[in-house]
Amino acid sequence: MTAFQRSQTGNAAACAPLRRMILAAAVLVVTQVAIGMVVNLYVTVPAHHPGAHPANYFSGSVHSVVWAIGSGAISLAVHGAFGLALILFAVTVAVRAVRLRTGRVAVSSVLAAMLVIGAGFNGASFLDFGGQNVSSLLMALLAFGALCCYLLALYLLPALG
């Protein structure tokens, strides 16, 4: 076995947990999109709730998300809470990929995390400004972009055994 083959085998073994994390992140993004579709079809965000039409986007968004999780319809509450957890997981995956020095996989994972965070900001905008369709569309497109990044990362990871 050449030095290159040994390094690829060792690298593949070190990346096995990362592979599972990336696959889990992809599944979680798909799950979040499905819950978001339910929210989009069956939940009407009231025009007036804590955080609606804020003077300061960030503080208003915090109030909107807290309201959605605590007092919103069950699917909206699940979507909001799941979204926050997904952001944390996406950042964890990105940090893991960067720490393993996986190159293009790390870039793809970081981009996926940024897209997930962007989708979260559009979710907050959806709440803040009365459920505008453009915010919902941007959430979905950013989520699908993140999914593509995760699929690319899986493709780029070294083959197992």
Closest by CA position to 28, among listed 96, 124, 119: 119
> In the prediction, which pLDDT does 19 show?
96
Residue 3 has pLDDT above 70, yes or no: no
Average of per-residue pLDDT across 34-62: 92
pLDDT (mean) for 113-140: 94
Helices (H), the chain: 3-42, 57-71, 74-99, 104-128, 133-156
What pLDDT score does 7 carry?
A: 43
Identify the pLDDT of residue 123: 94
Provide mean pLDDT across the span 35-61. 91
Binned at pLDDT 50, 70 and 90, residue 96 comes out as: very high
Q: Is the pLDDT of residue 4 over 50?
A: no
Q: Are 14 and 100 in contact (CB under 8 A)?
A: yes
pLDDT at 144 over 60: yes
d(CA 143, CA 119): 6
At residue 130 the predicted structure's pLDDT band, cuts being 50, 70 and 90, is: confident
Q: Is the pLDDT of residue 1 over 90?
A: no
Distance between CA atoms of residues 87 and 43, nearest Å: 22
Residue in the structure block whose two tokens are 């909107």: 64
Q: What is the pLDDT of residue 125?
A: 93
Residues 68-90: pLDDT tens digits?
999 999 999 999 999 999 999 99
Kindly tell me if the per-residue pLDDT of 161 is higher than 70.
no
pLDDT on residue 40: 92
